[in-house]
Amino acid sequence: GSIVYLGMMVGAFFWGGLADKVGRRQSLLICMSVNGFFAFLSSFVQGYGFFLFCRLFSGFGIGGAMPTVFSYFSEVLAREKRGEHLSWLCMFWMIGGIYASAMAWAIIPHYGWSFSMGSAYQFHSWRVFVIVCALPCVSSVVALTFMPESPRFLLEVGKHDEAWMILKQIHDTNMRARGQPEKVFTVTRIKTPKQIDELIEIESDTGTWYRRCFVRIRTELYGIWLTFMRCFNYPVKDNTIKLTAVWFTLSFGYYGLSVWFPDVIKHLQSDEYASRVKHFRNEEVSHFVFNFTLENQIHSNGEYINDRFIMMKFKSVTFEDSLFKNCVFEDITSLNTYFRNCTFVNTTFYNTDLEQYKFVDSELINCTFFHIRTGCQISFDDDYSAYWIYFVNFLGTLAVLPGNIVSALLMDRIGRLTMLGGSMVLSGISCFFLWFGTSESMMIGMLCLYNGLTISAWNSLDVITVELYPTDRRATGFGFLNALCKAAAVLGNLIFGSLVGITKAIPILLASTVLVCGGLVGLRLPDTRTQVLM
């Protein structure tokens, strides 16, 4: 999970800067192609290191989507409906989340959807899930090939004729939709921005191809850096600093609690499960055949002589200070099962998954092992709690739907700042209800409430960000803030994740404080509702 965030952090900054250099459509095409290629590749690779490498570059590709697509879309919208339509665009982040959650829920538990070619190549259901998650990216690349470049970007770089043709196409399409196809598109005045001359000397005659490539890459990176530094120049310097504070606090609080919620629910489940454990002490069993499931049990100081454990499942079973003599373990599947300080004498293990790490401080005397299965052998039918991960994720994603609809309908009516500040402050206040979350159902309810409130803040922050930056640095500024968002998310995951099961007070107070403070800073931003894009 963290390796993807790292890729997205670098990708957001790089592709956002590139979009201000080569164009929104071109940047989107390349970054989505990179994501799609490495996402597909990660589904088939077998080594963990190579898998992480693929996920890193997949994240690097998808990181460019957010800053570029918001800049791209905002530059073809009318001012009167800009906030509303950008909010509808935000909804597709939620739809993608629902799609991913639903696909995980539907695909990953089906362990039967797998095949192998010897021990060298394994293909399991989670790999099918990775492929399915890459399909929307592929469809996006195909669709983008038929899309025009942003006319505002073309005007910014002095390509007036191309911009005029695209604006005419937009005008004619809208007029036909209104039933007024006879209206003619006319331009009376074009405001031409001041062009920045870039002199790039590439030794085409004497230099080698790789040197020319190196000079080109270095020049582009330097141009991206210069554009980024201009985000801290007048008149956008103050806005950049305020946006930095709001993006960081919202991301830290949101992603921190997002990882904390499922872990707390899992911790509550574990406590409730542990409270129902059954203890068996000083058992003496001989010449008995065990052929049933043992679950949530602790067996202490037992003696098992000439017993057979056949076609069994052990779920959360612990044997302590016990003796197994002349026993047979055959066709055994286990989950969270350990033998602590036990002694095994003349015991045979055949076709089991009882690996060495499950024998803690135990002594094995004259024991034999045949066909030991390694890796995870349990299925989702055996471990139903695994379904809970996908179910909670699905509910949390679905809970933002009302907030998305409300923010879209009210964005241009009550204003971006009111929605941003109000949503963040209300989210911070809602954190205090977590004090009363003592059961799974209550925590899930709090998760849905929290997600529903914060989504309006995310939507309004996206809209404000694209409207506060001028065209020549819009994608760069958005990319920088999005990269900061991912850094804050990783930091939030680390801090909040380390506090699970220790205390509720610190996560609640920390999340509440940063969200309220971020909301108050957001209220200090200029109102962009009636502003024409610079």
Same domain (yes/no): 424, 510? yes
Q: What is the pLDDT of residue 117?
A: 64
- Would 239 be classed as within a structural domain? no
Same domain (yes/no): 207, 86? no
Q: What is the pLDDT of residue 380?
A: 47
Task: Say which residue, 125 or 42, is predicted with more confidence.
Answer: 42
Task: Say which residue, 499 or 87, is predicted with more confidence.
Answer: 87
Q: What is the pLDDT of residue 278?
A: 93
**Which structure tokens are listed for 314?**
């052990």
Give the percent of the chain with pLDDT over 90.
24
- Flag whether pLDDT at 38 surpasses 90: yes
Q: What is the pLDDT of residue 507?
A: 80
What Cα–Cα distance (Å) separates residue 197 from each residue in 157, 200, 223? Answer: 11, 10, 11
- Would 175 be classed as within a structural domain? no
> Angle at the Cα of 302 (from 300 to 308), degrees rounded to 5?
125
- Flag whether pLDDT at 494 surpasses 60: yes
- Would 214 be classed as within a structural domain? yes
Q: What is the pLDDT of residue 214?
A: 79
Same domain (yes/no): 67, 144? yes
Would you place residue 142 in the very low, low, confident or very high pLDDT band (cuts 50, 70, 90)?
Answer: very high
Q: What is the pLDDT of residue 279?
A: 94
Structural domain total, the chain: 4
Mean pLDDT value across residues 229-241: 85
Same domain (yes/no): 225, 301? no
- Would 413 be classed as within a structural domain? yes
Among 98-107, 160-169, 524-533, which stretch is predicted with the lowest mean pLDDT? 524-533
Would you place residue 468 in the very low, low, confident or very high pLDDT band (cuts 50, 70, 90)?
Answer: confident
- Would 245 be classed as within a structural domain? no
| pLDDT tens string 270-290 | 777 788 899 999 999 999 999
Same domain (yes/no): 325, 414? no
Would you place residue 30 in the very low, low, confident or very high pLDDT band (cuts 50, 70, 90)?
Answer: very high
Q: What is the pLDDT of residue 222?
A: 83
- Would 225 be classed as within a structural domain? yes
Write down which residue in 231, 251, 283 finishes a domain.
231
Task: Say which residue, 501 or 506, is predicted with more confidence.
Answer: 506
Same domain (yes/no): 149, 9? yes
Among 201-205, 357-361, 468-472, which stretch is predicted with the lowest mean pLDDT? 201-205
Same domain (yes/no): 73, 103? yes
Write down which residue in 95, 128, 154 finishes a domain.
154
CATH number for the domain including 315? Answer: 2.160.20.80
Q: Where are the beta strands (DSSP E) in 412-497?
A: none
Same domain (yes/no): 319, 434? no
Closest CA to 478 of 469, 490, 487, 489: 469
Same domain (yes/no): 296, 225? no
Same domain (yes/no): 395, 509? yes
Would you place residue 20 in the very low, low, confident or very high pLDDT band (cuts 50, 70, 90)?
Answer: confident
Residue 235 preceded by cis peptide, ω within 30: yes
> Angle at the Cα of 331 (from 328 to 337), degrees rounded to 5?
85
By DSSP bridging, strand 303-305 and strand 328-335 are unpaired
Same domain (yes/no): 58, 32? yes
Same domain (yes/no): 150, 88? yes
Q: What is the pLDDT of residue 31?
A: 92
Mean pLDDT of the chain: 84
CATH number for the domain including 93? Answer: 1.20.1250.20
- Would 256 be classed as within a structural domain? no
Give the percent of the chain with pLDDT over 70.
91
- Would 19 be classed as within a structural domain? yes
Mean pLDDT value across residues 470-486: 88
Range of the domain at 201: 194-231
